[in-house]
Amino acid sequence: MLLHLRMVQDMQLRNLSPNTQERYLYHVASLTKFHGRCPEEMTPDDVRAYLLFLCEEKNLNPNTRRQAVSAFRFLFWTTLGREWSMKNLPLPRVQTKLPVVLSKEEVIRFFRSVLEFRFRLLLMSAYSAGLRVSEVTRLCINDIDSRKMVIHVRQSKGGKSRFVMLSELLLGQLRTYWKMAKPKLWLFPDATGEKPVSVAKVQSVCREARIRSHIDKVITPHSLRHSFATHLLEAGTDLRTIQLLLGHAQLTTTAIYTHVSTEKIAAVVSPLDGLEV
């Protein structure tokens, strides 16, 4: 219990996002359960054995295993102060996959398949401004600035804040929602009204709506963020602006959308068309 508290405090001192903190604690708890003893008693070989278990038995993808390694590095190096070599906790090679992107017609079908108004509005908010699910669930009423027509995204990934555009269509829907639900602090609270709605609940709503929509794609809340970026790119928005809206630290992260923008790709003239064959 003391180790858990100390790790939480260490993460808070370094401004790790709530989502990152939750994931790190999950991986540490899984490691503890696997070996049946406290991490303070573990050696590098114990951690290596668990990582092999994740790879060979659980067959987890490299990105999830990288996340686990990052959690263990934080635990043992930062919180416990262990001077282990980098070789003890190797990072799996990144597995880059093209994101799932919905067409504009599919976005409409998907939204119409979300039965509850507040969740439809939450997902519309995510798409309208390219928000992460952890960002849209933690929006407060005061984050909506109708005078400047911006949304203030506070303490997002990496502890950074940013402003994104506020859609006029979304604003009208939000006003209708506010009159109906009268939220006090959180824009999209849970059933108690005291906390923001959980990410797991939003993911569940997404899965149910995808089934009703009959769209043959794996749709998650993050798919709406990917679709936002791709649709902006296809509309002529430059990558630098999209990078700022998404809150990416590196432009190279945003550049992946150039690989999934089929309209941009289809508009390029093939060199074969310039040949007289």
Q: How far is CA 37 from the centre of its chain?
A: 32
- In whole angstroms, what is the distance from residue 65 CA to residue 94 CA? 10
Annotated catalytic residue within 222, 226, 240, 264: 222
Tell me how far CA of residue 192 lies from CA of 31, 188, 195, 203, in angstroms. 32, 11, 7, 19
Q: Which amino acid is at 115?
A: L
- In whole angstroms, what is the distance from residue 24 CA to residue 26 CA? 5
177 labelled catalytic: no
Annotated catalytic residue within 157, 162, 201, 217: 157
225 labelled catalytic: yes
26 labelled catalytic: no
Name the phi and psi angles at 81, rounded to 5: 65, 30
Annotated catalytic residue within 27, 225, 226, 231: 225
157 labelled catalytic: yes
82 labelled catalytic: no
87 labelled catalytic: no
Task: Burial-class residue 265 by CB neighbours within 10 Å (0-12, 13-18, 19+).
Answer: exposed
Task: Burial-class residue 166 by CB neighbours within 10 Å (0-12, 13-18, 19+).
Answer: buried
CB 63, CB 95: distance < 8 Å: yes
Annotated catalytic residue within 65, 120, 132, 231: 132
Using the Cα atoms of residue 24, residue 28, residue 31 and residue 33 in order, give the sign of their dihedral.
Answer: negative
Q: Among all residues, which ones are annotated catalytic?
A: 132, 157, 222, 225, 248, 257
